Every structure is written in C-alpha cells, then in structure tokens.
Amino acid sequence: MSEIAKGDVLLSVRHLSMYFGRGQAAQKAVNDVSFDVRKGEVFGLVGESGCGKTTTGRTIIRLYNATGGEVWFKGQRIVAGKLEYRKQLAEIRKQLETASPEQKAELERKAAEVKAEMRKAMHDHKHADKKLVTKIQMIYQDPVASLDPRMTVREIIAEGLRIQGVHDKAYIDEQVLKMLDVVGLVPEHAQRYPHEFSGGQRQRIGIARSIIMNPDMIIADEPISALDVSIRAQVINLLNDLRNTMGLTILFIAHDLSVVKYFSNRIGVMYFGKMVEMADSDELFLNPLHPYTRSLLSAIPQPDPEYEKGRKRITYNPLVDHDYRTDKPSFREIKPGHFVDCNQAEFDQYLKILK
C-alpha cells in the first residue's frame, strides 16, 4: 500500500447511514452522509446536539456497524453496510414483476452482480485489517466516562499497546512516560487514578491514550465541550501542536462554531442526520447558503455589547424554508469545494447570491 501524500484523500466516507432499530420504527441517526478528509487537515463536523455528528464518528471507527454506505481509509474499505445494495435489489424485484422475458434475463444478471458486490463489501467489512483500523483513534467527549476508574493512568495509556501484543514492560513504561510528557503531564501521574485529576487533565490522559498508538488520524468528539472555558484553549492548542509534530489528520466534531472556525480547514454542517453544507472554513463563514447554516452562524455571540444588542437570530424551519414536494434535494457543488443540499430551484437561487 503506497503512502498517502499530504493533501491527498486519507479518509473517504460515501453514503454512510446508521439506523437504530428496524423497519418503520428505525431512527435515522445518520442518513446518506458523504465527505472526504485529506491528509494533514482538520475537518470540522458541526451541528446541534442530536444531529448525528458523534454517531458518524463512531461508525467510522467501527464502534457501530453501519446500516449502509462505505468508509475507505488509506485506500482500503474498512466499513460497509447493506442498505444501498438492498435498495437496488428491491428495485430490481419490482421491475421483474412487469418485465418481458428478455428484460428478466438482464435484470437477473444485474441482481447477481449486486449480490456479488454486496458479498465483497461485507467480506471487506468483516475482514478489515485491524492494524489499519487502529490507525484511527478517538478522543471522547466525556473525559470521566471514557476512563476506567479502576485502572491507573499507566494502565489506561498502555492498554492499546497491550492489546496489540506488546509485553515489554520497559518499553511500555518508556512510551507511557513519553506520552505523559507530550500532553503536559508529569511521570508521577502514571500511578494515579482518574478521579485524582481535573477535567482538563483527564482529557489530556485520553489524548495520550490515543497518540501512543501512533495514529494517522484522530476523531476528536467534542473534546472541549465538558471543560472549563479557561482550559479549552489549552486542549485546542495541544491538538494543534500534535497535528503539526505528528502529522495528524483530525476529524473535529463540535457545536462551538467559533472554535471550529479557528481550528478547522474545512467544515461540514449536519442537520437531522444529513450533511446540508460543506466548504472551506473561510468560505463557509463568508458565504453561508443553506438556511440552517445561516441559523447556526447567527447564534454565535460576539464580545461586543453594541453588536449583541442588535444581533438577530435566524430561525430555521425546514417546512417553511424548503419546498421539496416535487423537486427533491441532492448534495450539489455550488462553486469549487462548496457543496449544499438543495433542489434545482434553490441551486439557481444560491448561484445568484454568490454573484
């Protein structure tokens, strides 16, 4: 497998869906989400609580089994779901009911191809290279819940190495102390338990646990939302330093847009399980097109009392802001690198706005 150059696509998510439950009662936590993350960049994923950001991250890292879609990492498929294949087979079965004998033969051949593709995808999912998957690590939102209270800091940080089959105690101790130093902790902390630390220190332990695996990519799931404001900048700066020194690629999940703008190269906006807009950070803040994006940006407070007095919140109401009764939306590129979920009428309107 050839090395991925900086700026090339490292992670590719295609039509990812994650449903909880079955049939009509299924909850569509993530529904047909697609995006790429390039090597060396920070890709911000934003949206209100419950929009599917965390579920997307956890499905990518295989904590959940995807309902549909695919995830490719370093050119290999590590996640696959059956939803799209089942939809194709259902459509073929429907066409077979009214097809002529000649058409039936062609449809049956097509169905066999879809089934073969599904078997290949499921084989890739089941037999994905575990060492490759561990090159994606996750930093969790709650530093308290994500650390085992019965394990010392040394045991927590070293757990990944032990799972990978490393048993050299001297090497493990060396790596643990090295990671503690990298995240700003001291060797004495190795023998303590999580409850003896502050929230910011616990999050640093979680970061150390991730980077000891020497990952290519970090999924940071709202890593600062549970921390005091004074500590947030320290953690963001730590992640920025690690990104530069270790060459990390980061999928940064958050709902604090001011932080995302500062930290991210590109931003994807999610609403109700779908990606509604995606663009470079500066472009998104300069030309927000989707009504939900504009609503999110209008909620950002500014450290200016005079501005705050006149700041008007934009309310997003899908039933009012869109008319999808006849013309259904799709994810379209408005300008190079700027994508919006819209129908043709909205697409034409957005083009006029950009002019």
Residue ranges of the domains in the chain?
Answer: 147-214
How does pLDDT run across 260-289, given as a tens digit for each residue?
A: 888 899 999 999 999 999 999 999 999 999
Mean pLDDT of 43-64: 94
Give the separation between CA 47 and CA 291, rounded to whole angstroms.
13
Confidence at residue 132, expressed as pLDDT on a 0 to 100 scale: 94
Report, as an integer, the average pLDDT of 65-78.
Answer: 96
CA-to-CA distance for 288 and 297, rounded, in angstroms?
8
User: DSSP secondary structure string, 264-307?
Assistant: -SEEEEEETTEEEEEEEHHHHHHS--SHHHHHHHHT---S-HHH
CB 265 within 8 A of CB 43: yes
In eight-state DSSP terms, residue 246 is H
Indicate the helix (H) or strand (E) that contains 101.
helix 101-126
Average pLDDT over residues 174-196: 95
On the question of pLDDT at 318 being above 50, the answer is yes
CA distance 162 to 168: 9
pTM comes to 0.91
Q: Note the pLDDT tens digit of each residue in 126-153.
A: 999 989 999 999 999 888 888 999 999 9
Average pLDDT, the chain: 92
Torsion of CA 269, 274, 279, 283, to 10 degrees: -50
Residue 308 — pLDDT band, cuts 50, 70, 90? confident
Per-residue confidence (pLDDT) for residue 1, from 0 to 100? 47
Q: Which two tokens stand for residue 264?
A: 């991210």
